[in-house]
Amino acid sequence: MAEITFTDFEKVEIRAGRVTRAEPFPEARKPALKLWIDFGPELGERKSSAQITAHYSPETLIGRQVLAVTNFPPRQIGPFMSEVLVLGLSDADGAVILARPDRDVPVGARLH
């Protein structure tokens, strides 16, 4: 594992957002969902592609808060432009469980 400095960590912008829309992403190489996430007035709504279909369906994600890296450059995923990286952890089977605050926080709140 590569070490980073605290200064390196401070460069990573991890913010809370709320999923406003979610759809299947059948064009993706691996099963995925398209997400639209509200990060508040400063960042607005951003899109992401996430391989989270093992535990989530589009309907279960609407209104859910998630954590995402918001300062990576956009990345083209097939026909979809992913603007943020939604964060998650692998369960015992390797399927992704979303990282999220354990209580509601303001959208756009930054991880300290």
Domain boundaries in the chain?
19-98
Contact 49, 82 (CB under 8 A): yes
| Interval 9-50: pLDDT, tens | 999 999 999 999 999 999 999 999 999 999 999 999 999 999
- State both tokens at 70: 């918001």
What predicted TM-score, i.e. pTM, was given to this entire model? 0.94
d(CA 49, CA 24) in angstroms, rounded, equals 10
Contact, 48 vs 32, CB < 8 A? no
Tens-digit pLDDT profile for residues 48-88: 999 999 999 999 999 999 999 999 999 999 999 999 999 99
Q: Which CATH code is given to the segment(s) 19-98?
A: 2.40.50.140
